[in-house]
Structure 1
Amino acid sequence: MNAPEKVVMDGAAAVIPAAGVSRFHESARAQVAGAAHYIDDLPEVRGTLFAAPVMSNVAHGRLVGIDDTAARAMPGVRDIVYSRDVPGDKMLAAFAGDEPVFAIDTVQHVGQVVGLVVADTVMAARRAARKVKLDIEILPAILSVHEAHAAQSYVLPPVFVKRGDAARALSRAPHTLEGTLEIGGQEHFYLEGQVAYALPQEQNQWLVHSSTQHPGEVQHWVAHALGLHNHAVKVECRRMGGGFGGKETQAGHLAVWAAVAAHKLRCPVKLRFDRDDDFMVTGKRHPFAYKYTVGFDDNGLLSGLKLSMMANCGFSADLSGPVADRAVFHADNAYYLADVDIASYRCKTNTQSHTAFRGFGGPQGVIVIENILGDIARELGLDPLAVRRINLYDAAQPVGTPIDTSPEARNHTHYGMAVEDNILHPLLERLEASSAYQARRSAIALWNAKSPVIKRGIAITPVKFGISFTATLFNQAGALVHVYTDGSVQVNHGGTEMGQGLNTKVAQIVADELGVPFERVMATASDTSKIPNASATAASSGTDLNGRAAQYAARNVRDNLASFVCGLDGCGAGAIRFKGGQVISPVATRDFTDVVQRAYANRIQLWSDGFYRTPKIHYDKATLTGRPFYYFAYGAACSEVAIDMLTGESRVLAVDILHDVGTSINPAIDIGQIEGGFVQGMGWLTTEQLVWNEKGYLSTHAPSTYKIPATGDIPARFQVELWPEANREDNVFGSKAVGEPPFMLAISVYEALKEAIAAARGDGARVLLIAPATAENVLCAVMRPAGAD
């Protein structure tokens, strides 16, 4: 979609800025035409071989032996690669150092990769891999988070965060509720599966094409496994067909496996998972279980909270530490918690090692407090929106007003960060009015009184989401901007493009900084030989970090050109303007290309680097206190649903969203991210159910057994509006991050379902709805006896 462009008048000329208007995704036309290349589309070098994984069929056991005789006899098979073939460290270079490249002495989950079959074709490798027989002595397996917690089986030590005296507050509260909650995981289901292509180069150097959100980490992991320095490995990624966090660390596994195989066979090796293998090998969103006691008064105002969060991390740490940390950080969502005691347990189970997923633990934190507030409202017979509103952090003060630090002020999080920019009070008021929430709530009550089978529910839930990597060192970025003598511009940065429009936004920023048309700027593939040590494209910080770094790089080139023109015209550098493809001084107006060519002839530097690090952030990792985030992004959604009391089936009827992206760099892309994030969140909470059987086998490992939202699940009414206010912090273009925050707006669907279930039950009892709210789980919630957990 293309919104109307904002036109800036510059004298007699109409200048259309590159940023702040809707522009097509830079690869859109190529993608529609099938001309946008992904890793598996790249031309294969002569001699390329293909790999397929040999996987454990046991959840936990001792690896006694391997019989690969039948596999080696299969047509086209060249070799089979095991742990003994890893030339460097046999453990992956993950921060916890707890995951082997290939299984060594034990297997830890069904689907763990024991080795690779390498063959002349993809299908030959896959057929042979299934012929490898593993002799495994079965050991006891831990398959649930509750078993793990009871056995104190953790991938990392528990973390505790406290403020005030929760026990005392609970003892004095007029009302208390105790409860539990179970929230399932989620498969990333990117359209492009995991893939890597490793090519040996001269002098023991390597080129790896990886579908990854973190090329720098892939470079480090491959070098570590091959026993090389990082400079010997180059990683490239032009684009991914979706990532959602699933390619932040786990793409590194395939790159390492392919590189080890290529090292052994001395030829290029490509490894691409089919969908079933991708499901079985890779980690998911962390499932969580909760236990809580909450105190509150007659109006629903919280007066104490004791909360235990148990994250199912799988068999290794991966990114579970920071994921669980962020869940702790977002257990408040938009609400002030005066007296709180949070315990976070990072549980080790014999399943896939769970990993980053859009929101990175934030959704698992937000949903528990929203669930609690919804239950309080139903307990008191109040409108849940009123209960949410009374518990909000204090509204933001006018810009420049010192923040109130008095004990009475409700503007500091439980981890010690001041909430200075809270716009949820006016934002909720506007959404309540624009969605006609009160009128619809009354109409739904009348509907439910007359309808014996179909019950409806409506809910508004807000989101306050912190923007920055919680690992402070990752909040940095670099970029290169090259201006060529024909006036065209190339930008390269450390971020990766996974369909979210990062390259488009960066190109818009660079175009405006140089005052040239958007079409003159090209963003190129992420490349570790151009931008070293780049952070992952994650934490919704891609544009914040890389856009600012690219802006600084472009500014350096612009300043060089401005100084040159000043020398020609005898004026100050501040008098030079770059607009509409022209360079304007008090003396003359010149074409940008002409200025570039004259500057080149005078040996003026026409390229530059740019570097940016996020200011203000700091926190103590041991106590989880400080300021881990640069700013907060806000939003709210109103969702209306219907359930069938006889079958448990549900449908989302209408959604109204008001979301804060600051000053939008590209409204079309931002709205697309909001819509996509919401629908993905809706899938997490309604249809996407992961089921492991009693032997630890993932039964839902294909589209036939795992249901993501489809076009028929999109509500007939789906309205998205952007909040019209710039970021109060000095962020690029006044924008705010948009990738992850909208995901949590879908919690409004879950809360609306609970409202409908409460109406269906009609007994005033608390609703216990296991997520995802499949038809079975909805029906169970409707039929569950009052007071049963």
Structure 2
Amino acid sequence: MNKHQAQLDRKRISGGVATDQRHDSAHKHVTGEAVYIDDMPEPAGTLHACLGLSTVAHGDILAMDLSAVRAAPGVVDVLTASDVPGVNDLSPTGLHDEPVLAEGKVHFFGQPVFAVIAETREAARRACRLAKIDYAELPALIDVADAGPDAPLVTKPLTLLRGEVEIALGEAPRRIRGQMRVGGQDHFYLEGQIAFAMPGEDGDVLVHSSTQHPSEVQHMVAHALGVSSHAVTIEVRRMGGGFGGKETQANQFAAIAAIAAKRLKRPVKIRPDRDDDMTATGKRHDFLIDYDVGFDDEGNILAADFAYAARCGFSADLSGPVTDRALFHCDNAYFYPAVRAVSRPLYTNTVSNTAFRGFGGPQGMVGAERIIDEVAFAVGKDPLDIRKLNFYGGPGRDTTPYHQTVEDNVVERIVAELEESAAYARRRREIAAFNKNSPVVKRGLALTPVKFGISFTATHFNQAGALVHVYTDGSVHLNHGGTEMGQGLYVKVAQVVAEEFQIDIDRVKITATTTGKVPNTSATAASSGSDLNGMAAQDAARQIKTRLIDFAADRYEVPTDQIVFLPGRVRVGNQEIAFDDLIHQAYMARVQLSAAGFYKTPKIHWDRDKGQGHPFYYFAYGAACAEVSVDTLTGEYMVERVDILHEVGRSLNPAIDLGQIEGGFIQGMGWLTTEELVWDKKGRLATHAPSTYKIPLASDRPKIFNVALADWAENAEPTVHRSKAVGEPPFMLGMAVLHALSDAVASVAGHRLCPRLDAPATPERVLMAVERVRAGQADA
């Protein structure tokens, strides 16, 4: 063995799976070196676009005078619906209900009506204000609470049914009916919507788009331009946050930029102000949840009946699958012997709501946790006892409302371990003693579980592709259909490839997602980024490995089972060859060193008409224990301590996963406590800037924040290295804070009444709940 081989023998791979690796762009984020679309050098002649937005919530356009806009300094062109060369539609569901630019009628305040293209961004913004548009205003439905039984829907509703619900409710010893309002949420990504289009030869166009779904943007831009998809290339190196807000909402901005670029034969960039971004783009759906629950004196739930009404906005967008997923999670971690859940995806004259982390699942779970609280207060028990009593169990207690069997249930173990590590019982006693002697400040404690289904509910989206090249010097080029929005997907997939070849991760080049390399990709959403793209990249790497093994076996005349990839080298029989050397040898022997990988999720199927199937490949589990203190004179509160135990299977990168859990929890907490969307009676969004919309600050984090991975966890399904998804499930851990606040409010009247605290539980809403409880009223 030569000196070089001896050094290699002592070496261990740096950056394989199951190791803590920093985010590949972390140092660039900190130093400002990370290049986002607005940081890209602008070619000479770059133009800037700005959208002209409607000033009424619902109305016919009677006249539109844009002459002053066209005459404004710096204006090069003004686009209206008639200037869209292809189809004036961006509907991701093919319902043709979402125009690029409004035509004849507007459906919400802030709907894009025209676009100004100018020499500078400032000139485009100023010119937009000069438009004169006359509307014949029509009646507008803003709030779902005002929708009657015959209110229009944007898409077909769903019903999930198992068991004889009416009979079970009627025979239950106890029964409670109620209603809960759950607010929406703005994505509030650090980088707003943006697109930068470059015209090319032969009618082609390249669009740099901040999108989670490059292939959909490609298809939407092609439709709007009236060209084939192959004439449009979408590229995404990174996003400054997405959270679902860039799954469909990027379509409009990319289309406007591309239309203008091709029309004027000059590069065009569009980057809306934060106010315009928040006004004109969709958000998390807010829900009005009606529930009817039957239970016995011990707290066993016997039947549950839910109706989930959602403010969907003026078009379908993704409201169908979002409201479907809300129903899929109306059980959270609990078994209902009889259950019915119905969705009402309501048309409203507000911006069309869209995907957001959890995709309707969080709203469904909040409904489940509300009925747990109702039952606990009714029978006079700790809500945690009622939760444990109603968990999914073995045969006979393992079927979901959509008839999928829960095969990987670990919620009892997760909760039991967290209950012990967080000292729940001791702290419950201490808090009771504290509250008894504290007339103003009250403390509350809650422990809530999470069971979240992993897969796109649209079966065809559960596929991914990847492209892997090995160059003659042994370096590797990796490309796949997943997009990087700060969640660490790129580094995880690179770790998978490094592990397969047993090379250091710095030998794997991470490259921008582009439709020109990997086609027909699914959105980076549904927590499926690592599951899908990791498996596709692994498939590509293994194809190349198989060719290398066959080559080495032939050249060195050894059986294939005697060829093993080791860190930085390959053992071939009784000798070892440096990985780089074997690659060069294979190239000289004309072995193909490139492969396109592919993966499709197995086992899943879904019949929406029947409301039955196996829509999820597996479930991810976690639990959070939160303690809060509430000033009952003002409603102000602090999150004192949070303990989290979450399982991610065999983690691909524990450091990244812990970051996702921490961030997901804080974002979920923000949704349920401080982030409030307010529309006035005219349909104008009042909370459209950082000054009026409150996301959690660093000072809002728990004073004590303990987060741990369940180190014993392993995915029962053969996912990439037996890992589990971690993007969305932790978001729902924030429910613990809402229920801790409810517990603190309930202590004002000795836990005799369920506070029925709606979300977001702002200080004002907490104070009103305190006053209701003091007055002996369960609801307002």
TM-score, normalised by the number of residues in structure 1: 0.96
What residue number does 1:152 align with?
Answer: 151
Paired residue secondary structure (1:351): coil
In structure 2, how many angstroms separate the alpha carbons of the residues matched to 1:247 and 1:661? 25
What residue number does 1:656 align with?
Answer: 643
Contact 1:415 1:626 in 2 (8 A): yes
Q: 1:227 to 1:340 in 2, by over 3 A?
A: same
In structure 2, how many angstroms separate the alpha carbons of the residues matched to 1:750 and 1:580? 48
Paired residue secondary structure (1:154): coil
In structure 2, how many angstroms separate the alpha carbons of the residues matched to 1:100 and 1:201? 25
Of 427, 442, 447, the residue aligned with 1:440 is 427
Deviates more, 1:692-701 or 1:31-40: 31-40
Letter paired with 1:506: V
Of 560, 565, 568, the residue aligned with 1:578 is 565
Deviates more, 1:248-257 or 1:753-762: 753-762
What residue number does 1:89 align with?
Answer: 87
Extract structure 1 runs of 4+ deviating beyond 3 A. 9-17
Q: Offset of 1:641 from its aligned partner? A: 0.8
Contact 2:61 2:104 in 1 (8 A): yes
Q: Gapped runs of 5+ residues in structure 2?
A: 1-6
Of 711, 715, 718, the residue aligned with 2:702 is 715
In structure 1, how many angstroms separate the alpha carbons of the residues matched to 2:245 and 2:90? 17
Contact 2:17 2:496 in 1 (8 A): yes
Residue pairs, 1:273-352, within 5 angstroms: 273-352=272-351
Contact 2:91 2:317 in 1 (8 A): no
Cα deviation 1:628-674 (Å, max 9, x = unaligned): 00000000000001111010111111000000100000000000000
Q: Offset of 1:577 from its aligned partner? A: 1.3
Cα deviation 1:750-774 (Å, max 9, x = unaligned): 1111101101233612212121010
Q: Offset of 1:149 from its aligned partner? A: 4.1
In structure 1, how many angstroms separate the alpha carbons of the residues matched to 2:751 and 2:299? 20
Of 759, 766, 777, the residue aligned with 2:747 is 759
Cα deviation 1:399-420 (Å, max 9, x = unaligned): xxxxx4xxxx101111010100
In structure 2, how many angstroms separate the alpha carbons of the residues matched to 1:508 and 1:151? 53
Q: Offset of 1:678 from its aligned partner? A: 0.2
Paired residue secondary structure (1:158): coil
Cα deviation 1:585-621 (Å, max 9, x = unaligned): 2221011111111111111111111100000000102
What residue number does 2:167 align with?
Answer: 168
In structure 2, how many angstroms separate the alpha carbons of the residues matched to 1:197 and 1:622? 41
Q: Does 1:493 align with 2:480?
A: yes
Paired residue secondary structure (1:157): coil
Q: Does 1:728 align with 2:716?
A: yes
Q: Offset of 1:66 from its aligned partner? A: 1.2
In structure 2, how many angstroms separate the alpha carbons of the residues matched to 1:373 and 1:24? 40
Letter paired with 1:525: A
Q: Does 1:119 align with 2:118?
A: yes
Contact 1:186 1:690 in 2 (8 A): yes
Q: Offset of 1:158 from its aligned partner? A: 2.4
Contact 2:755 2:779 in 1 (8 A): no
Q: Does 1:772 align with 2:760?
A: yes
Contact 1:54 1:114 in 2 (8 A): yes
What residue number does 1:782 align with?
Answer: 770
RMSD of equivalent CA atoms: 1.3
Deviates more, 1:353-362 or 1:28-37: 28-37
What residue number does 1:142 align with?
Answer: 141
Letter paired with 2:86: G
Paired residue secondary structure (1:155): coil
What residue number does 1:388 align with?
Answer: 387
Paired residue secondary structure (1:181): strand
In structure 2, how many angstroms separate the alpha carbons of the residues matched to 1:419 and 1:647? 44
What residue number does 1:701 align with?
Answer: 688
Letter paired with 1:553: A
Letter paired with 1:485: T
In structure 2, how many angstroms separate the alpha carbons of the residues matched to 1:601 and 1:224? 45
Q: Does 1:630 align with 2:617?
A: yes
Cα deviation 1:558-577 (Å, max 9, x = unaligned): 11111111122211222211
In structure 1, how many angstroms separate the alpha carbons of the residues matched to 2:581 and 2:132? 69
Q: Does 1:514 align with 2:513?
A: no
Q: Does 1:566 align with 2:557?
A: no
Of 481, 484, 501, the residue aligned with 2:471 is 484
Cα deviation 1:141-162 (Å, max 9, x = unaligned): 0011122344422101322221
What residue number does 2:66 align with?
Answer: 68
Q: Offset of 1:269 from its aligned partner? A: 1.0
Residue pairs, 1:141-540, within 5 angstroms: 141-394=140-393, 404=395, 409-540=396-527
Deviates more, 1:567-576 or 1:555-564: 567-576
What residue number does 1:107 align with?
Answer: 106
In structure 2, how many angstroms separate the alpha carbons of the residues matched to 1:788 and 1:244? 33
Q: Offset of 1:15 from its aligned partner? A: 4.8
Cα deviation 1:452-477 (Å, max 9, x = unaligned): 11111100100000000000000000
Cα deviation 1:47-94 (Å, max 9, x = unaligned): 110000100010001111112222222211111100000000112242
What residue number does 1:37 align with?
Answer: 35
In structure 2, how many angstroms separate the alpha carbons of the residues matched to 1:683 and 1:334? 22
In structure 2, how many angstroms separate the alpha carbons of the residues matched to 1:623 and 1:777? 40
Paired residue secondary structure (1:359): coil
Of 7, 15, 18, the residue aligned with 2:16 is 18
Contact 1:22 1:668 in 2 (8 A): yes
What residue number does 1:4 align with?
Answer: none
Alignment: residue pair count: 769
What residue number does 1:399 align with?
Answer: none
Deviates more, 1:23-32 or 1:637-646: 23-32
Q: Does 1:614 align with 2:601?
A: yes
Letter paired with 2:739: E
What residue number does 2:3 align with?
Answer: none
Q: Offset of 1:101 from its aligned partner? A: 1.1
Cα deviation 1:348-384 (Å, max 9, x = unaligned): 1000100000000000100111111012112211011
Cα deviation 1:219-276 (Å, max 9, x = unaligned): 0000000100101101000110000000000011110111122233232211001110
Cα deviation 1:489-509 (Å, max 9, x = unaligned): 111000000000000000000
In structure 2, how many angstroms separate the alpha carbons of the residues matched to 1:78 and 1:665? 50
In structure 2, how many angstroms separate the alpha carbons of the residues matched to 1:761 and 1:231? 66
Letter paired with 1:755: D
Q: 1:519 to 1:15 in 2, by over 3 A?
A: closer
Paired residue secondary structure (1:156): coil
In structure 2, how many angstroms separate the alpha carbons of the residues matched to 1:456 and 1:676? 24
Contact 1:116 1:261 in 2 (8 A): no
Letter paired with 1:629: F
Q: Offset of 1:10 from its aligned partner? A: 10
What residue number does 1:683 align with?
Answer: 670
In structure 2, how many angstroms separate the alpha carbons of the residues matched to 1:444 and 1:428? 20
What residue number does 2:53 align with?
Answer: 55
Q: Gapped runs of 5+ residues in structure 1?
A: 1-8, 396-403
Q: 1:268 to 1:13 in 2, by over 3 A?
A: closer
Q: Offset of 1:12 from its aligned partner? A: 5.7
Q: Offset of 1:14 from its aligned partner? A: 4.6
Contact 1:648 1:777 in 2 (8 A): yes
Contact 2:314 2:351 in 1 (8 A): yes
Cα deviation 1:108-134 (Å, max 9, x = unaligned): 111100010111001110111111121
In structure 1, how many angstroms separate the alpha carbons of the residues matched to 2:645 and 2:746? 26
Contact 1:155 1:316 in 2 (8 A): yes
What residue number does 2:4 align with?
Answer: none
In structure 1, how many angstroms separate the alpha carbons of the residues matched to 2:148 and 2:467? 48
In structure 2, how many angstroms separate the alpha carbons of the residues matched to 1:43 and 1:778? 49
Letter paired with 2:607: D
Contact 1:149 1:310 in 2 (8 A): no
In structure 1, how many angstroms separate the alpha carbons of the residues matched to 2:240 and 2:475? 28
